[in-house]
Structure 1
């Protein structure tokens, strides 16, 4: 029965959008990262992302990370300034041991900006974080 199905809560896995200077072009770029703040590795991390509003929708992007070690992070994608005006959703699915977990992370439109910067775990950088 439905009441017997246990859906575990995802803890200590985050998505952050960080503003970084591009080394070659010297531009301030926004990049999305996945952060594994757990003491265990994550296997086969699948990330599906897209941006949307009432009038616009971006193409769906799909990313795979074979292994995301404990207490580490990985870049997901570059985010153009135009998509910051949209809701940006990242659906993350991964294996922790033999258990599959998933969670959606939503950055509401216009919340990715320099006024919303905060310290990001493990990265020693400032960005916008969704837990």
Structure 2
């Protein structure tokens, strides 16, 4: 048996980056479209890449967030995000429990992929944003 066979596949958990109130404020949301309750949720976020002007590696501080539960069909705001980091890779690791099984999923916003022109209307929020699956 391969080690990858032991890792449960995660479906129905998404991350959305939304333009808040049609102004230059952005927020990241965790979405539970599963039929299960997500519990003991931990989300870490970090930005990394290269500072083009100085031609050297760049990394933001790692932020950690927690939620007790997220019911089926619910979403929760994880953090605000500033446009100054959109030129970096923005990585989010989401860990949570369902029925005594630990799940992990990585979401990655690529450098310069967050643009208003790339945003679509997300009906769940009635706002424009980018959805990662």
Unmatched segments (≥5 aa) in structure 2: 51-56
- For the residues of structure 2 that align with 1:89 and 1:114, how far apart are their CA atoms? 19
- Two-structure CA RMSD over aligned residues (Å): 1.8
Whether contact under 8 Å (2:21, 2:127) holds in the other structure is no
Q: Is 1:90 the counterpart of 2:78 in the alignment?
A: no
String of CA shifts for 1:51-98, please: whole Å, max 9, x gaps. 010321000000000011110100011101101111100000001122
**How many residues in Structure 1 have an aligned counterpart in Structure 2?**
127
> Once superposed, which parts of structure 1, at least 4 consecutive aligned residues long, lie more than 3 Å away?
1-5
- For the residues of structure 2 that align with 1:41 and 1:126, how far apart are their CA atoms? 26
Report the CA distance shift for 1:17/1:41 in structure 2 as closer, same or farther (over 3 A): same
Whether contact under 8 Å (1:118, 1:128) holds in the other structure is yes
How far did 1:2 drift?
4.2
TM-score (normalised: structure 2) = 0.87
Moved more, 62-71 or 115-124: 115-124
1:28 to 10, 24, 28: 24
Which residue number corresponds to residue 46 of structure 1?
42
**Structure 2 counterparts to residues 1-131 of structure 1, below 5 A:** 2=2, 6-21=6-21, 27-54=23-50, 55-120=57-122, 122-131=124-133
